[in-house]
Amino acid sequence: MAILKILQYPDKRLHKVARKVEQVKEATRELVCDMAETMYAAPGVGLAATQVDVHEQIIVLDISEAHNQLRVFINPEVIASSGEEEGEEGCLSVPGIYENVRRAEKVTVRALNEKGDSFTLEADGFLAVCIQHEIDHLRGKVFVEHLSQLKQIRIRAKLKKRLRETL
Ligand code: GNR
Ligand code: NI
C-alpha cells in the first residue's frame, strides 16, 4: 500500500486520455488499493487514475461517511443518462476551488470490478455526479473545463499564485 502523489491543475498530464485496461490483473488490483488509500487520506470521495499520473481507465469511489463502501470502476462507460442537475463540485486536483457544474441527473454505467467481472449500475444524486466527474478525468477533462473561459483563467491564475507562494 502506498499514498500516491495527486497531480495539481494546471498540469498538462491531467489532459491525457486514459487507455482501456486490457486484462484486470494483480497489478491493477494493487493500483486500486493504492488509489483507495490515497483517496481516503486526501480525503476525497473519488479518484481517477489520471490524477495519480496513471493513464488507464480506473476509478475508485466511496461516498459513504464511514468509508466502508468502496466502489471500483474499470473501463467505465455511461450507457444511458437522463435529466439535468446543477451542483457544487470540488476536485483533489484543484484544491480550494468549488463551482457549480451542470450534469446529467441520472446515469447508467457499465464497468468491470476489481475481479474483472462486468456490472451495470444505475446512479442518481451525488453518486451520479461523482461518477461523471471521475469519467471526465479519464477523458482528460477537469471539472473547471465545464466553466466559462473567464472563470477558468481566474482559477488558473489563483492556483499558480498559490503554487508560487508555497515554494
Ligand atoms: O472529493 C471530491 N469531492 C467531490 C465533490 C463534488 C463533486 C465531485 C467531487 S469528486 C472529488 C474527488 C476528486 O477530485 N475526484 O476526481
Ligand atoms: Ni476530481
For the stretch 24-64, pLDDT in tens is 999 999 999 999 999 999 999 999 999 999 999 999 999 99
Percent of the chain at pLDDT above 70? Answer: 99
Q: Is residue 13 predicted with pLDDT exceeding 90?
A: yes
| Residue 85 designated active-site | no
Find the DSSP H helices in the chain: 26-41, 125-138, 149-165
Task: Determine whether the shortest distance from the Cβ of 130 to ligand 1 is under 6 A.
Answer: yes
Task: Determine whether the shortest distance from the Cβ of 45 to ligand 1 is under 6 A.
Answer: yes
DSSP class of 143: G
* Confidence category of residue 166, pLDDT binned at 50, 70, 90: confident
Of 84, 122, 134, 145, which is the active-site residue? 134
Distance 145 CA to ligand 1 centre (A): 14
Task: Determine whether the shortest distance from the Cβ of 62 to ligand 1 is under 6 A.
Answer: no
* Confidence category of residue 115, pLDDT binned at 50, 70, 90: very high
Q: Is residue 152 predicted with pLDDT exceeding 90?
A: yes
Q: Phi, psi at residue 83, to the nearest 5°?
A: 75, 180
- Ligand 1 atom nearest the C-alpha of 48 is 16
Third-level CATH fold of 12-166 = Peptide Deformylase (3.90.45)
Percent of the chain at pLDDT above 90? Answer: 95
Specify the pTM.
0.97
**pLDDT value of position 106:** 98
Mean pLDDT of 146-160: 96
> Among 6, 102, 133, which residue has the most ligand 1 atoms within 8 Å of its CB, making it the best to mutate?
133
**Residue nearest (by alpha carbon) to ligand 1 atom 7:** 89
Check: CB of residue 144 under 8 Å from CB of residue 151: yes
Task: Determine whether the shortest distance from the Cβ of 49 to ligand 1 is under 6 A.
Answer: no
**pLDDT value of position 149:** 97
Question: How far is Cα 39 from Cα 46, in angstroms, rounded to an integer?
Answer: 6
Distance 23 CA to ligand 2 centre (A): 25
Mean pLDDT of 153-167: 89
Check: CB of residue 138 under 8 Å from CB of residue 18: yes
Q: Is residue 167 predicted with pLDDT exceeding 70?
A: no
Taking the domains of the chain in order of start, what are their residue ranges?
Answer: 12-166
Chain segment 76-100, per-residue pLDDT in tens = 999 999 999 999 999 999 999 999 9
